[in-house]
Chain A
Amino acid sequence: MEDFNLAPLLPEIFLSIIAMGLLLVGAFNGNNATRIVSWAGCSGILITILVLLGIGWHKQTVLNGMFIIDEFSSFTKLLILIGSLGAIALSVRYIIDEGMERFEYPVLILFATIGMMFMVSSNNLLMLYMGLELQSLSLYVLASFHRNSTRSAEAGIKYFILGALSSGLLLFGISLIYGFTGSIDYTVIKHSLFIIDGASIGFTIGLVFLLAGIAFKISAAPFHMWTPDVYEGAPTSVTAFFAMVPKIAAMAVLMRLLFEPFASVADQWVQIIYFLSLFSMIVGAFAALVQEDIKRLLAYSSIGNMGYALIAIVANTPEGAGAVLLYILIYMIMTAGVFGAVLSMRRQGLAVTKINDLAGLSQTKPALAYVMFILMFSMAGIPPMAGFFGKLAVFNAAVAQEFYVLATIGVISSVISAYYYLRVVKAMFFDEPADKFDTSIPFARRVVMFVSIFFVICFVFKPSVFIQSSITAASSLFAG
């Protein structure tokens, strides 16, 4: 049979060692070590990225078919690692300012990252569940990391209860699928679905539960209820991490499941994803209109954005899958920049998060205002910003498969959502200045914002690189 080959697992192994090592460092040095642990975590992630780039990306499975590596998983892992790196870099000063300087913070992000890396590489429903739980448990703790704040605790509890519910749904779905296909291994499931030629009713119910569980994780409507509360209640730096990274992992899991083992029952899941996408776009567009808090607004915006990404999954083509990857890549980078700006909204040492707090920012802090300005237009999908090209790819994939209605509702909801992005711009540029924000923006946060802005503006000049690599990565799902 197979060799006992651990080489494809090197990035995960390396990052696990780093994470556990840092936990020990923290345990011996206490909370004073937070800064060191954070930057060491960042360097650990950087080295992991190098290791990931160093190992071969050709398709292979190890651990008796539990763990798969191919271009798709490696590409998404790259995104996850970059996102986590950005999230830690954004957080360091914030957790100190907010008085929650504890060394577990970066370590938990690292563990969540490891969990996500296993999720995207899983070739087995059990492996998927393990990765998901490692990720989720770390995230529950992170959500309630601000122990003295009731809102943070509330966010943690809410996230935990709904997350546990979704895990339950997921497990129930998995057990049904196991019962009706006879395996939890993706390859075997694919094979048996192919043989029985069409899905049995039991399998379909299992599929629905499984998809509902994952829809919770990517916060697609109607499974989105936790998102605004958790985004609002959790410390902003944690919200940034939530918005950027776990969704990539969940989306990747969804794509692998749908395009590999469940490819032959596409007619079953296309309708489900179709309605998830439709609901998400509509909820994301309308519910955000009335929000006053920028974190809640971004929560609804992320629901809407997941809706757009799902459009391309409905298309069920390699181009569509490539469009999803491109979309979440661009979305992650934009979100990093936006949260960089939101984290910098501090007045007299306290974080503020109302949209009105941004009033007149273009006069009091022009640089920050322009960062936010460009990112808001990019989020709204206005060319020539990068956000437009993500939407272009997604709608193109849908139109190519003649999903005209979905694409039209998509563009119309993007016009509606443009309204609330404009509200942020309006507050910053048209309104009279409110009190000034505190001046100091730490270097790391500046770097993250600069990278984000640079990417968003310059994408238009060299788009091919990113589009091509996302299509290549996605094609490996359809290779056979």
Chain B
Amino acid sequence: MEFPLLSIMTFLPLAGVLIILATVRGSGEVADRNAKYVSLYTSLFTFAFGLYMFANFDGNSAEFQFVETSSWLKPFGINYHMGVDGISMFFVLLSVFLTPICIISAWDAIKKRVKEFMIAFLILESFMVGTFCALDAILFYVFFEGVLIPMFLIIGVWGGARRVYSSYKFFLYTLLGSVLMLIGLLVLYAQTGTTDIPELMNTPVSSSLQYWLWLAFFASFAVKMPMWPVHTWLPDAHVEAPTAGSVILAGVLLKMGGYGFLRFSIPMFPEASAYFVDLVFWLSVIAIIYTSLVALVQEDMKKLIAYSSVAHMGFVTLGIFTMTSQGVEGSIFQMLSHGLISGALFLCVGVVYDRLHTRELSRYGGIVSNMPKYATIFMILMLGSVGLPGTSGFVGEFLILLGTFQVDTLVAALSATGVILGAAYMLMLYKRVVFGPRENRDALAMPDLNKRELSLLIPLVALVLWLGVFPSDVMNKISPSVDKLIAEYNEKLEKAGIEPKQANELTFLVDKKDLED
């Protein structure tokens, strides 16, 4: 038997939980500190395994790697099956990278029930990694929905004033979407006799059924993503969640929706995906424009970033359903980049929130003079979110628009306005917080970033810039899997006699595949 790398990464955080439960007794400062250190080291170890996985991942292969199989729900023929390919590997990496950052960010910010917070976070990490590694649909579902439990607690126990309402809304919204997917999964299982994801990808499903199943899965992923009009839980959840919760919510949990589209909807229901392309496109366009406009008028920093997340996720869904290699690769890249940037932006909000205990934009202003380091870092991240060339935000958005343009020029043009609106609200945010009138004395008295905060933000900023300048380091590992996904998608459509959506004949100008040929 091979070294079970993915299982170790999935269950190591749970081992950390057991260590905390077994060794950390009582409450008080010492116990809290021990719990923090145990969880920090556990998550760092997990991250080390993540780096090992990254180093040993064969970027030329589109196959699943580090595969593990053992019997699990034997009477149903459902196996414990784990593995990663170019699509999922970076999400795993993102999860294990952001978790230690979140734990450090909570170091001083979380003051009550520290032990429980750390336990919830480690459980959350375990489920997140499991979600992206699972190669069995039921196993995926177990992790996917299990995530709700720790997140519910994180919002509800350590959240802000309206935490109860927000945590309920988060839980019930996502649960409703998920259970519909469960029914879809069971129907799929009844029809094909398997829940193994690679097998399901190669098992054709009848066209009439595909539409229903696609909608059932869509219900889940669209809520998780979140797409307009089922995005309303996100601003509430973000505003009330503690900083670390917001970071992980924006950084990883939203990506589960996009990952679900790539893993389930497109390879398993290609005909339905082709059929519903326009629906997704227009929902995405509405999301991009509408939520950007909503973001413009927000007075709450977290709410503003939350709405910007919805807009950015609109780009992601757009790119995925273009089914061009640029669009899909751009979407994956955009998800990774958004995970880093919005995570870091929430950390930035957390930094000033910890000092002033308010997220009202009007309570800040002019802090560039007393917090120069903060202003610099915030600027890089803000520009990354806008999509300035040289940051990771640019690469993703550009590729998505490129991909979209090949498929639907109108949609591409409309969604490009989102980039402009994005610049408008982010610059407005930056102006009002960092520059602006020097009126609020308490804001001007805030100390600059301390070492702990710098240690959180610098890796994120470095990655944002690195990915902006050398995107190919990541792209090369993503491409083979994406190419395979698209090739199989087109093959299945051809078999069914359906033309993939094409807008014009300019395709050959931008399709790098054709250039190579």
Contacts and interface: CB of A to CB of B under 8 A. Distances in A.
Interface of A: 322, 362-363, 377, 382-384, 388-389, 392, 395-396, 399-400, 402, 404, 407-408, 411-412, 414-415, 418-419, 422, 425-426, 429-430, 460, 463-464, 467-468, 471
7 cross-chain pairs, A with B, having the tightest CB-CB distances, nearest first = A411-B179, A383-B142, A464-B74, A399-B186, A400-B190, A467-B75, A415-B176
Contacts of A400: 186, 190
Interface stretch (B51-59, B149-157, B256-264, B490-498): B149-157
A395 B186 CA distance: 8
B156 A426 contact: yes
A334 to B, nearest CB: 16
A468 B172 contact: no
A383 B150 CA distance: 12
Contacts of A382: 145-146, 148-149, 175
B152 A412 contact: no
A383 B72 CA distance: 15
Contacts of A388: 142, 145
> Max chain A CB contacts within 10 Å: which of B171, B172, B186?
B186
A392 B168 CA distance: 23
B164 interface: yes
Contacts of A429: 153, 156-157
A430 B182 CA distance: 29
A104 B379 CA distance: 77
B22 to A, nearest CB: 14
A418 B183 contact: no
Contacts of A471: 75
Interface string B122-149: 0000000000000000100111011011
Contacts of A411: 179-180, 182-183
A425 B149 CA distance: 11
A464 B164 contact: no
Contacts of B164: 426, 430
B509 to A, nearest CB: 47
B187 A415 contact: no
Contacts of B157: 429-430
25 contacts: A362-B113, A363-B113, A382-B145, A382-B175, A383-B146, A384-B143, A395-B186, A396-B76, A396-B189, A396-B190, A399-B183, A404-B187, A407-B186, A411-B180, A411-B182, A412-B179, A415-B176, A415-B179, A422-B152, A426-B164, A426-B167, A430-B167, A467-B73, A467-B74, A467-B75
A279 B189 CA distance: 27
Contacts of A384: 142-143, 146
B76 A418 contact: no
Contacts of B141: 383
B71 interface: yes
A460 B116 CA distance: 23
Nearest to B148: A382
A414 B183 CA distance: 12
B163 interface: yes
Interface of B: 71-76, 113, 116, 138, 141-143, 145-146, 148-149, 152-153, 156-157, 163-164, 167-168, 171-172, 175-176, 179-180, 182-183, 186-187, 189-190
A464 B182 contact: no
A382 B145 CA distance: 7
Contact of A468 (B74, B146, B149): B74
Given A407-B183, A464-B74, 16 more contacts: A363-B113, A382-B146, A383-B142, A383-B146, A384-B146, A399-B189, A400-B186, A402-B190, A408-B180, A408-B183, A411-B183, A418-B172, A429-B156, A460-B142, A464-B71, A467-B74
Contact of B171 (A404, A418, A430): A418
A311 to B, nearest CB: 12
A463 B142 CA distance: 13
Contacts of A468: 74-75
Contact of B72 (A399, A412, A419, A464): A464
Nearest to B145: A383
A392 B75 contact: no
Contacts of A460: 142
A471 B143 CA distance: 26
Contacts of A408: 180, 183
A414 B145 contact: no
Nearest to A366: B116
A388 B75 CA distance: 16
B253 to A, nearest CB: 16
Nearest to B180: A411
Contacts of A412: 176, 179
Given A384-B142, A467-B75, A414 B179 contact: yes
> Max chain B CB contacts within 10 Å: which of A415, A425, A468?
A415
Nearest to A419: B172
Contact of A467 (B76, B167, B171, B180): B76
A399 B190 CA distance: 7
Contacts of A463: 72-73
A429 B74 CA distance: 37
A340 to B, nearest CB: 20
A223 B153 CA distance: 37
Contacts of B182: 392, 395, 411
> Max chain A CB contacts within 10 Å: which of B75, B145, B189?
B75
A134 B333 CA distance: 68
A414 to B, nearest CB: 7
Given A383-B146, A395-B183, A464-B75, A418 B163 contact: no
A382 to B, nearest CB: 6
B205 to A, nearest CB: 14
Contacts of A418: 171-172, 175
Nearest to A418: B175
Contacts of A425: 152
Given A382-B146, A464-B74, A468-B74, A422 B171 contact: yes
A457 to B, nearest CB: 11
> Max chain A CB contacts within 10 Å: which of B76, B113, B143, B148?
B76
B505 to A, nearest CB: 44
B276 to A, nearest CB: 20
A408 B180 CA distance: 7
A411 B180 CA distance: 7
A262 to B, nearest CB: 25
Nearest to A413: B179
B352 to A, nearest CB: 26
A414 B176 CA distance: 9
A408 to B, nearest CB: 6
Contacts of B73: 389, 463-464, 467
Contact of A430 (B116, B163, B187, B190): B163
Contact of B149 (A377, A407, A464): A377
A63 B482 CA distance: 69
Nearest to B159: A430
A467 B74 CA distance: 8
Contacts of B146: 382-384
Given A388-B142, A400-B190, A464-B73, A419 B148 contact: no
A464 B71 CA distance: 9
Contacts of B143: 383-384
A75 to B, nearest CB: 15
Nearest to A391: B182
Contacts of B180: 408, 411
Contacts of B175: 382, 415, 418
Nearest to B144: A383
Nearest to B130: A384
A402 B190 CA distance: 9
Contacts of A392: 138, 182, 186
Given A384-B146, A426-B156, A415 B172 contact: yes
A429 B171 CA distance: 15
Contact of A396 (B163, B167, B176, B186): B186
B69 to A, nearest CB: 15
Contacts of B171: 418, 422
A43 B182 CA distance: 43
Contacts of B138: 392
